[in-house]
Amino acid sequence: MPTPTPAARKPFYKSLFIQVVFALALGIVLGVAVPHFAIGLKFFSDAFLKLISMIVAPIVFCVVVHGIAGAGDLKKVGRVGGKALLYFEIMTTVALAVGLFLAYVVRPGVGMNINTANLDAKALSTYSANASRLHSGGFGGFILNIIPTTSFDALARNDVLQVLFFAIIFGISLALVGESAKPVTDLIDNVSKVLFRAMGLIVRVAPFGVLGAVAYTVGQYGVHSLEELAWLVALFWFAVAFFVLVVLGTIMRVMAGLSIIKFLNYLREELTIVLATASSDAVLPQIMRKLERMGVKPSVVGLVVPTGYSFNLDAFSIYLTLATVFIAQATNTPLSFGDLMLVLGISLVTSKGAHGVPGSAIVILAATLNVVPAIPAIGLVLVLSIDWFIGMARALGNLIGNCVAAVVIGAWEHDLDLPLAREVLAGVVAVDLTEDADPSAIVAAE
């Protein structure tokens, strides 16, 4: 890691965080004042997400391949993967239990007395069809979906899990070939540098993406759109905040000796973008690079973060059990202890099929309800109108959970530079991804 060099303090208006916050505030104002115009700004958000999506798959491929091939010790790579999967399962179970516990303690659906005969089944048709296809595949279908038809197909469809699968095989193969494959490894490393440089350029337009997403949301749904189900939305946001600050904060302090508050402050630009777009995909490349810059070994980041996008969805897991019990309560459906255990067990499986894009959560929730006969699946209509607002916290919680996982696994494997991490989180060392894609972008802050 290069020695930090002094850097001149930039004007505050050049800070990406300030620009994103300003765009967020402007989007709210436009959404309230001129809703029809604000709705038309959604193309800014769509364009930004497409720009990010354009480089996510190749970046994941290059980072994972170079990380494995450069690690040298394939046993260590397997050990990191095994620890990551163990950690993911433990945290997913805890998150599911938190959602279940809060749903029964707070009881957000009690008293709504919803008659399922009055619910519009047409609003559910698309989600139910997708959920049925998802459920019909079962565990075998899920495994087959991880294996790409062709490597180029996985890259073209931007399927991160399939890209990760191929990248792991390709990286292991490079490591087994040895020295003669070094030119290929060097080529992939150089390509990743170019891609990260491209990412630095794309990040500069993030404020426009935030402006479009927020303006559209406020203009489309209005400020009164949360009134009927505001209690459920507020409870879910509280649940995510509790899980992040208490559960993840404790794990991060115990395993790595780092503060979750300082960690969140370090990721503030990316978290603000996720808040506005309700998609953790929007910041995947930046997050991976920022974790590396704070001292987590690239091979750990490359394995843990992309895998976590499918296997470690903490906030989504909370939502799955919370929403399921909420629907049961709202429709006056009694649940036995066996039903609760069924919800918990099924959710452990179905939660692995979701990804951080708004809309997929409804499909997975529908799949969960389809295999819990006691709960009327039509009750899913109740949460359709608030899914975007729920999705904001869901994407935030999922992203933070995966970032903490990378730090924890890095500390567990002694692949975390703790002195550097403390300096970065304390602000002694600054990291700016918009300035440079090379490690030399780490500079001493004033």
Q: Distance between terminal CA atoms of the chain?
A: 19
Q: Which residues of the chain have pLDDT under 70?
A: 1-13, 70-73, 116-142, 221-229, 350-360, 363, 385, 432-446
Nearest CA among 208, 181, 249, 220 for reference residue 51 = 208
Position 104 scores a pLDDT of 86
Facing residues of 296 across strands? 416
Q: What is the DSSP letter of 356?
A: S
Nearest CA among 270, 278, 309 for reference residue 432 = 270
Q: How many Å apart are CA 203 and CA 206, to the nearest integer? A: 5
- For the chain, the residue count is 446
Nearest CA among 161, 204, 176, 174 for reference residue 56 = 161
The helix (H) or strand (E) run that includes residue 105 is helix 74-106
Position 199 scores a pLDDT of 79
Hey, where are the domains in the chain? 12-435
Is residue 43 within 8 A of residue 212, CB to CB? The reply is yes
Q: What are the helix (H) ranges across 257-386?
A: 260-266, 268-277, 284-293, 298-311, 314-330, 337-350, 360-370, 381-384
Classify 6 as helix, strand or coil. Answer: strand
* Distance set, CA 155 to CA 171, 191, 201, 292, 323 (Å): 16, 15, 21, 23, 33
- The CATH number given to 12-435 is 1.10.3860.10
Q: How many Å apart are CA 240 and CA 389, to the nearest integer? A: 13
Q: How far is CA 193 from the centre of its chain?
A: 23
Q: What is the DSSP string of 311-330?
A: H--HHHHHHHHHHHHHHHHH
Position 181 scores a pLDDT of 84
Using a 10 angstrom Cβ sphere, with 0-12 exposed, 13-18 middle and 19 or more buried, the burial of residue 191 is middle
Position 98 scores a pLDDT of 92
Q: How many Å apart are CA 25 and CA 39, to the nearest integer? A: 15
Q: How confident is the model over 182-214, as pLDDT tens digits? A: 888 889 888 888 888 887 788 788 888 888 888
Q: What is the DSSP letter of 244?
A: I
- φ and ψ at residue 319, rounded to 5 degrees: -60, -40
Q: How many Å apart are CA 337 and CA 208, to the nearest integer? A: 49
Position 45 scores a pLDDT of 83
Report residue 278 as tokens: 């309700």
Position 421 scores a pLDDT of 93
Position 437 scores a pLDDT of 44
In this structure, the number of other CB atoms found within 10 A of the CB of residue 427 comes to 12
Q: What is the DSSP letter of 275?
A: H
Nearest CA among 50, 7, 86 for reference residue 277 = 50
Q: How many Å apart are CA 175 and CA 241, to the nearest integer? A: 41
